């Protein structure tokens, strides 16, 4: 038989599946080599459960500068400029929440229906190590399986039947082995590429499942040039251009905490000017700063959600503080509610934060003790767990999220200042399109990777708050 491909060629073939701008989570084993073969300026961000988002291979085997970080298999890696240090809670949330475009895993076996099995010892099948494999299989929007085509005893690693035990079900999209590239298409395995010198028959003879022959069978010849593309820029020239596609009837998350310190005021004004209607606003307050007026200069009014309510743009609020603390000074939203013009879903503050986190982290619902036995529990499932009563709360997501950050780099990594971290950082991962209003945008690598609070993978657009812009009007 002709020679089989080496690890680095397999890695190059896997890397050529990637597209500029993607977030790619790597498993241990063969997938780690993908980091080694990527062009230095490849426009993809690699994610390691070792806590690195946006890393490359360490050229000298040591992470000589920056934080001590490791690849999924424990080898030192270096952050690229614009990389961020993340914890394992973040890693899991990125995968489960649908923020990872591609996961690359090395399973022990793959079935014809795209199921995969991680590592299991032959001698003691009850002991096995799913490690990160289950999370990667479930979390990657596209899953690439890299594995030797056959085991050390020559038996096929690609098999017809699914095992009753699987670490990922129907998740594999493409299989890259040391002799072939096989696409998993609606339950069929399609042989689309072979290693030099190998034929369909050669590959089929060592495959444990039927192979459909692609009419355009090619030789494996990885090409990574496309990965050197420029990244799509995130910085928009102004507020109106950044929210131009925010449409009537959209659900929009927006809030900092209470007063004027933490809100994307410039984007709020842009949204008022745009006049978009029928909005559902998810927020902590829905326009309290304007009547509480803490710190507001005399003769001025704070800019907050009230400006959208006054303008007739809001249909519904999901909020914690919908009303004024003073009965004699009702908020704009309160007045609109009394007139029956707006709907309200009342959510306790901690539950709101947790529902927002769930939305961004791929948690569908959760049991919380907050609100059990109160009005908040009405219409919700109640359940006693370990002797304590909980109610079931659902995740919140949105079409858009308007965030107030302090500083961002061009990749969209964001740091906050004081109170504005509050709801902004938990909302950022939960919307389809997250737009951040910052004071300053710096180049990649200028933010300390240990201090990044919202990694750029959660941020779609950046807008600089105009110099001298006042949160009061």
Partner 1 sequence: MPQGKLYDTPQAALADVQDGSTILVAGFAGHGVAERLLVALLEGGRKDLTLVYRDGPYARAGSGPLPAIENLVSNGQVSKLISPIPFSPGSGGAIEERWQAGRLDIEIVPQGILVERLRAGGAGIGGVFLPTAVGTRFEKDKEKRSFPQGEAVLELPLKADYSLIKVAAADTLGNAIFDGSSRNWAPVMAMAARITVAEAGRIVEPGELDPEAIISPGIFVNRLVAAG
Query: Does position 368 bind partner 1 by CB under 8 A?
Result: yes
Work out whether 472 is an interface residue with partner 1 (CB under 8 A).
no
CA 400 to chain centre: 14
Nearest CA to 203 out of 216, 215, 214, 191 is that of 191
Nearest alpha-carbon partner for 50 in 131, 113, 129, 126: 131
Does 49 bind partner 1 (CB under 8 A)? Our answer is: yes
Q: Contacting partner 1 (CB under 8 A), which of 273, 343, 443, 450? A: 450
- Binding partner 1 (rule: CB under 8 A), the pick from 31, 54, 56, 66 is 66
Q: Are the CB atoms for 317 and 343 separated by under 8 Å?
A: yes
Asked if residue 335 binds partner 1 (CB under 8 A), the reply is: no
Instruction: Please state, in angstroms and rounded to a whole number, the distance separating the CA atoms of residues 1 and 240.
Output: 63
85 near partner 1, judged by CB under 8 A: yes
Q: Which stretch binds partner 1 (CB under 8 A): 168-176, 241-249, 250-258, 316-324?
A: 168-176
Residues in the interface with partner 1 (CB under 8 A) total 67
167 near partner 1 (CB under 8 A): yes
Does position 287 interact with partner 1 (CB under 8 A)? The reply is no
* CA–CA distance, 175 with 110 (Å, rounded to integer): 8
Query: At a CB cut-off of 8 Å and minimum separation 6, what does 83 contact?
Result: 45, 52, 53, 54, 55, 449
The closest of 187, 223, 296 to 12, measured between CA atoms, is 223
Rounded distance, CA 368 to CA 51, Å? 29
Residue 458: other Cβ atoms inside 10 A: 25
Among 19, 73, 399, 446, binds partner 1 (CB under 8 A): 73
Q: Give the nearest distance from C-beta 35 to partner 1 in angstroms.
A: 15
Residue 74 CB, nearest approach to partner 1 (Å): 3
Closest CA to 211 of 194, 234, 235, 232: 194
Cα separation, 370 vs 377, in Å, equals 9
Among 99, 109, 132, 465, contact with partner 1 (rule: CB under 8 A):
132
Instruction: Write down the residue that tokens 């009005």 correspond to.
Output: 375
Q: How far is the CB of 413 from partner 1 (least distance, A)?
A: 14
Q: Is 31 in the site for partner 1 (CB under 8 A)?
A: no
The reply to whether 86 sits near partner 1 by the rule CB under 8 A is yes
Site membership for partner 1, residue 168 (CB under 8 A): yes
Q: Considering the rule CB under 8 A, would residue 121 count as an interface residue with partner 1?
A: yes
Closer residue to partner 1, CB minimum distance, 70 or 349: 70
List of long-range contacts for 266-269, beta carbons under 8 Å, 24+ apart: 266/239, 266/437, 266/463, 266/465, 266/466, 266/469, 267/239, 267/242, 267/243, 267/402, 267/435, 267/437, 267/463, 268/303, 268/304, 268/305, 268/307, 268/308, 268/402, 269/239, 269/303, 269/307, 269/473
Q: Taking a C-beta distance cutoff of 8 angstroms, is the pair 380, 391 a contact?
A: yes
Is 272 a binding residue for partner 1 by CB under 8 A? The answer is: no
Q: In the complex, what is the shortest distance from the CB of residue 91 to partner 1, in angstroms, rounded to a whole number?
A: 7
Q: Is 68 in the site for partner 1 (CB under 8 A)?
A: yes
Picking from 471, 309, 306, 307, the residue whose alpha carbon sits closest to that of residue 404 is 471
Q: Looking at beta carbons only, is 7 or 73 nearer to partner 1?
A: 73
Closest to partner 1 by CB, 37 or 358: 358
- Other beta carbons within 10 angstroms of residue 51's beta carbon come to 22
Comparison of 124 and 216: residue with beta carbon closer to partner 1: 124
Supply the minimum distance, in Å, between the C-beta of residue 183 and partner 1: 21
Closest CA to 100 of 457, 398, 459: 457
Q: Which stretch binds partner 1 (CB under 8 A): 50-58, 188-196, 254-262, 311-319?
A: 50-58
- Is residue 416 within the footprint of partner 1 (CB under 8 A)? yes
Verify binding: residue 366, partner 1, rule CB under 8 A.
Answer: yes
In the shown chain, the binding pattern of residues 212 to 251 toward partner 1, with x for contact by CB under 8 A and - for none, equals ----------------------------------------
By CB under 8 A, the residues from 336 to 365 that bind partner 1 are 354, 358, 361-365
Judged by beta carbon, residue 134 or residue 204, the one nearer partner 1 is: 134
Min dist. Cβ of residue 390 to partner 1 (A):
4
Q: Cβ of 121: how many Cβ atoms within 10 Å?
A: 10
Q: Least distance in Å: CB of 435 to partner 1?
A: 22
Site for partner 1 in 178-207 (CB under 8 A): none
**Using rule CB under 8 A, residue 455 touches partner 1:** no
The reply on whether position 442 binds partner 1 by CB under 8 A is no
Binding stretches for partner 1 (CB under 8 A): 49-52, 63, 66-70, 73-74, 85-89, 91-92, 95-96, 119, 121, 124, 126-135, 137-139, 165-170, 354, 358, 361-369, 383, 385-386, 388, 390, 394-395, 415-418, 450-451
């Amino acid at each position: 038989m002709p020679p089989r491909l080496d690890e680095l060629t397999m890695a190059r073939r896997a890397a050529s599946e990637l597209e500029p701008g993607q977030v790619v989570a790597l498993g241990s084993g063969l997938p780690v080599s993908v980091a080694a073969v990527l062009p230095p300026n490849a426009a993809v961000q690699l994610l390691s459960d070792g806590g690195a988002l946006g890393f490359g291979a360490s050229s000298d085997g040591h992470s000589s500068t920056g934080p001590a970080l490791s690849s999924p298999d424990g080898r030192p890696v270096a952050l690229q400029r614009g990389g961020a240090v993340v914890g394992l809670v973040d890693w899991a949330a990125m995968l489960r929440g649908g923020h990872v475009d591609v996961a690359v895993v090395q399973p022990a076996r793959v079935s014809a229906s795209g199921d995969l099995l991680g590592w299991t010892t032959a001698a003691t099948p009850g002991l096995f190590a799913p490690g990160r494999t289950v999370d990667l299989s479930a979390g990657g929007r596209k899953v690439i399986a890299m594995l030797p085509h056959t085991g050390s005893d020559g038996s096929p690693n690609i098999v017809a039947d699914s095992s009753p035990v699987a670490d990922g079900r129907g998740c594999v999209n493409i299989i890259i082995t040391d002799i072939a590239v096989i696409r998993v298409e609606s339950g069929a395995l399609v042989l689309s590429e072979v290693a030099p010198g190998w034929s369909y028959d050669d590959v089929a003879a060592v495959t444990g499942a039927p192979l459909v022959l692609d009419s355009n069978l090619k030789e494996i010849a990885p090409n990574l040039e496309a990965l050197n593309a420029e990244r799509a820029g995130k910085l928009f020239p102004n507020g109106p251009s950044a929210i131009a596609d925010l449409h009537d009837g959209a659900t929009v998350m927006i809030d900092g905490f209470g007063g004027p310190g933490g809100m994307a005021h410039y984007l709020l004004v842009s949204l008022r000017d745009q006049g978009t209607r029928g909005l559902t606003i998810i927020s902590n307050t829905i326009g309290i700063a304007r009547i509480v007026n803490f710190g507001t200069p005399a003769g001025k009014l704070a800019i907050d959600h009230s400006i959208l309510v006054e303008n007739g743009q809001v249909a519904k609020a999901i909020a914690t503080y919908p009303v004024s603390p003073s009965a004699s000074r009702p908020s704009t939203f309160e007045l609109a509610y009394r007139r029956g013009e707006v709907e309200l879903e009342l959510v306790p503050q901690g539950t709101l934060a947790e529902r927002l986190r769930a939305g961004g982290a791929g948690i569908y619902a959760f049991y919380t003790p907050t609100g059990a036995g109160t009005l908040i529990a009405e219409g919700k499932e109640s359940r006693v767990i370990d002797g304590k009563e909980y109610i079931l709360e659902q995740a919140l997501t949105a079409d858009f999220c308007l965030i107030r950050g302090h500083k961002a780099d061009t990749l969209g990594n964001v740091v906050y200042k004081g109170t504005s971290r509050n709801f902004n950082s938990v909302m950022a991962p939960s919307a389809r399109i997250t737009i951040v209003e910052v004071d300053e945008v710096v180049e990649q690598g200028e933010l300390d990777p240990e201090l990044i609070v919202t990694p750029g993978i959660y941020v779609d657009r950046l807008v600089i708050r105009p110099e001298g812009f006042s949160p009061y009007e």
